[in-house]
Amino acid sequence: MYILKLPWLNHEEEHRKHEVYSLSISPDGSRLASGGLDGKVRIWSVADILKYRDGTLVKDNTCKPLCSMSRHTGAVTVVKFSPDGRFLASGSDDKVLLIWEKDEEARPVFGEVDNVEHWTVTKRVVAHDNDIQDMAWAPDSSILVTVGLDRSIIIWNGSTFEKIKRFDVHQSHVKGVVFDPANKYFATSSDDRSIRIFRYHKGSEISFSIEKNVLQPFKKSPLTTYFRRLSWSPDGQHLAAPNATNGPVTSIAIINRGTWDSDISLIGHESPCEVASFSPILYESNENGETKISSTLATGGQDKTLVIWNTASSSPIVVFEDIFYKTITDLCWTPDGKTLFACSLDGTIAAIVFEESELGKSVPSNKTDEILNRYGVDKESMVFAESANQLILEEKAAEFQKTLSDKHMDRLLRIEQSTIQKPAPRPIPPPVSQPATPHLPAAPQQDPSKTKLNRAVLTNGKKRVAPTLISVSSASTHASNKFQNVTVSTKKVENEKAATNLLSKTPFSLPKFGLHTSVHGYFVKKVVQEDDEENEGDEIDDYEEDEDEEDEEDDLLYSTKKRKTKQEIPILQLQPSYDSSRLIYKRLIDGDQHSILEAQNYEDPEDDEPTIVRAKTNGKLMFETYLKDRITGITGEFDKYWILATDTCALLIYSPTGRMLYQRIELGYNISFMSCKADSLIVLTDDYIIHSYDLKRFKKLHKKVSLAPIM
């Protein structure tokens, strides 16, 4: 393979390289389009780029773009060629969507006299209310979908570019969109940590529906990526989604078609991944006499590393490091799958050229179309169902629609008949002597004095009236019998409880509201006693005279707490050692050396801003990371460990250089105190359970030890 990084292949202007955000290859593989921070869309000749791989050619007049277009007023964030090769669409943070078409007459445009090719704007649309982040064409170029930071998904006609539909189903920025090669679905990825799978049906009118909302792989994905660019495999089986997580590790989620579950994660990037791109070519290999078809995936992100994967292998094929100095923003393959182009925020564009059969034996395109036909549709038609279940479902839906239509027609006919049969109004209406409805037999009136009420005697001796169902004649008797039955069964349970009470009592007294109130301190507000008449219906929690001993002790404990609250004295003076303030820090000292770890929490939990964690040793920054959770406490051992407690009852253990040593430990209760010495860590949670760990061997020293007996 060859890596080409030509000095003139960039967005440079006045000796400054601007960030490059997007790349796209034309369907015939002859043109490369790029867009960047300089607000220009540039067209490059792929042949002129690849001819420099032998290293003997010198720079000539072909070392420049074929065309440079500056019609956007902001940074160009995305460019896409249409699959039929006729149009080039570009989106920008100026909220404008431009549709470009090559001018075959080569008429020069003012300000672009040096261009070899000339592209003109055939359509200009103010598409979104905020930046346009990504777009995708349908495989047959019939529709175009754009997404942006305004949370919207807008669908355009692929020839007239009129708006067909707009969806606002995401709760945050939408940063990626991709089409299914079988031309049945498209998927969008958003900062609300979800992927929406849309299904669309083509007929007299195009209809859309949400097939699935995928959440599982993205529940803890970071919000620091600028893009979430998806990719669909050429056989239509898998959807690669960047910026997913597998535990504490960043990953690329592989979502299976149909079930839309994700049981495979590609782990290897050290920082969040921003873009994934499948090669358009399938590859076949022979293993044990069986032919297996696989696909190739390229991924890149904030760790400035480009990784090539193959679905037939669990490990990467190749990992490219130090090609770029900043985040990789976009990837695209040539139609023959032999060249991969990548761009970065450092303002450069690189080409990775693979040798023949280096990635495997390529599968012919007609065989790829046969594989897509398994889903009932190819790129040219959309008339077959994907499975037999779909046919049954569509048949039932048609019958249901027909039933609704028949019911609607019957209702209209009844209204029409009632209108026809209605008598003509008379000039002087006669006085109404009797109701229009037929007479009903009058119900016998009951003497109020003889009416029996469902009276119930409560435990405190007071009387209460139970409600009666007036729609059932025997409701009164039934309700009374039911109340008596419940009373008898309750008495039986109480007698059984009293018999076993002495055996089930603990040898120590526990706080009324749980052990966690002893850790945090619990204040019982003074209860204002109201009049008996106002509280007559609520006095159902008083104690009986024949109450068991445990209830009497609870009553005494409760009354004791009430007496304490008059002076606002907590149950115990213990207070948690850590709190969720804005800034948490910890200093470790070893002789003349010192280390500091500080965590800056976000102000509002509703914000999307992460918690910033920084570690310094002797004033030198060792590492900086971003967390979704708030940090409530920090401890550690100098030059060995940093331990962080989160508001989600978890422990995070880092090395002095920022490497996460172990997976996060979920404790289930808030952490009140923790301390680390040498390789030992002790943690006290607010349920008064002590956890102890050996960090060197990562083992628990003791099982859960409860402090309840000494309470």
pLDDT tens per residue across span 138-162: 998 999 999 999 999 999 999 899 9
pTM of the complete model = 0.56
Coil, helix or strand at residue 634: strand
Q: Residue 592: which of 618, 568, 562, 613 has the closest Cα?
A: 618
pLDDT reported for residue 462: 60
pLDDT reported for residue 291: 78
Q: What Rg value do the Cα atoms of the chain yield, rounded? A: 36
Q: What is the pLDDT of residues 631-675, one digit of tens each?
A: 889 999 988 999 999 988 899 999 998 888 888 888 888 888 899
Q: Is 566 exposed, middle or buried (0-12, 13-18, 19+ CB in 10 A)?
A: exposed
Length of the chain: 711
DSSP string, 112-169: -TT-SS-EEEEEEEE--SS-EEEEEE-TTSSEEEEEETTS-EEEEETTT--EEEEE--
* Phi, psi of 408, rounded to the nearest 5 degrees: -65, -40
Q: What is the pLDDT of residues 184-239, one digit of tens each?
A: 899 999 999 999 999 988 777 788 888 999 998 898 888 888 899 999 999 888 99
Sheet holding 249-256, edge to edge: 231-232, 238-246, 249-256, 264-266
Distance of alpha carbon 29 from alpha carbon 85, whole angstroms: 10
Measure the CA angle with vertex 7, ends 273 and 54; round to 5°. Answer: 100
Q: Do domains 1-16+228-376 and 583-706 have the same CATH topology?
A: yes
Q: Residue 657: which of 371, 270, 370 has the closest Cα?
A: 270
Q: What is the pLDDT of residues 242-283, one digit of tens each?
A: 999 888 889 999 999 988 998 888 988 989 999 999 999 998
**What's the token pair of residue 492?**
């039986």
Check pLDDT > 50 for residue 240: yes
pLDDT reported for residue 359: 85
Distance of alpha carbon 193 from alpha carbon 214, whole angstroms: 9
pLDDT band at 479 (very low <50, low <70, confident <90, very high): very low
Q: Residue 136: which of 65, 71, 70, 80 has the closest Cα?
A: 80
Query: Which residues, listed in sequence order, are joined to residue 616 by a DSSP beta bridge?
Result: 596, 621
The per-residue b/e assignment along 144-183, b for 16 or more CB within 10 angstroms, e otherwise, is bbbbbbbbbbbbbebeebeebeebebbeebbbbbbbbbbb
Query: At a CB cut-off of 8 Å and minimum separation 6, what does 603 contact?
Result: 582, 609
Amino acid letter, residue 318: V
pLDDT reported for residue 615: 92
Q: Residue 102: which of 140, 67, 62 has the closest Cα?
A: 67
Residues 260/219, Cβ–Cβ less than 8 Å: no
Across the chain, mean pLDDT equals 77
Distance from the first to the final alpha carbon of the chain: 70
Check pLDDT > 50 for residue 322: yes
Q: Residue 675: which of 588, 616, 603 has the closest Cα?
A: 588
Distance of alpha carbon 465 from alpha carbon 468, whole angstroms: 9
> Of residues 273 and 705, which shows the higher confidence score?
273
The per-residue b/e assignment along 513-546, b for 16 or more CB within 10 angstroms, e otherwise, is eebbbbbeebebeeeeeeeeeeeeeeeeeeeeee
Mean predicted confidence (pLDDT) in 533-558: 42
Q: What is the pLDDT of residues 83-138, one digit of tens each?
A: 999 999 999 999 999 999 988 775 655 555 577 888 899 999 988 999 999 999 99
Protein fold of 1-16+228-376: Methylamine Dehydrogenase; Chain H (2.130.10)
pLDDT reported for residue 466: 57
Sign of CA dihedral 470, 471, 473, 475: negative
Mean predicted confidence (pLDDT) in 6-32: 90
Coil, helix or strand at residue 561: helix
- Other C-beta atoms closer than 10 Å to the C-beta of 621 total 10
Distance of alpha carbon 615 from alpha carbon 644, whole angstroms: 12
* Phi, psi of 664, rounded to the nearest 5 degrees: -65, 140
pLDDT band at 382 (very low <50, low <70, confident <90, very high): very low
Check pLDDT > 60 for residue 336: yes
pLDDT reported for residue 144: 94
> Of residues 138 and 503, which shows the higher confidence score?
138
Query: At a CB cut-off of 8 Å and minimum separation 6, what does 210 contact?
Result: 169, 196, 197, 198, 199
Give the β-pairing of 185-190 and 174-179: antiparallel
Distance of alpha carbon 461 from alpha carbon 543, whole angstroms: 11
The CATH code of domain 583-706 reads 2.130.10.10
Domain ranges, ordered by start, for the chain = 1-16+228-376, 583-706
pLDDT reported for residue 214: 92
Give the β-pairing of 12-13 and 361-362: unpaired
pLDDT reported for residue 146: 95
Q: Residue 174: which of 192, 200, 199 has the closest Cα?
A: 192
390 sits in which H/E element: helix 388-421
- Other C-beta atoms closer than 10 Å to the C-beta of 88 total 22
Query: At a CB cut-off of 8 Å and minimum separation 6, what does 18 contact?
Result: 11, 12, 36, 37, 38, 347
Distance of alpha carbon 156 from alpha carbon 137, whole angstroms: 10
Q: Which bin fits 142, alpha (ψ -120 to 50), beta or left (φ > 0)?
A: alpha
Give the β-pairing of 463-465 and 20-25: unpaired
Q: What is the dihedral of CA 331, 333, 339, 343, to 10 degrees?
A: -20
* Phi, psi of 230, rounded to the nearest 5 degrees: -85, 170
Residue % of the chain over a pLDDT of 70: 69
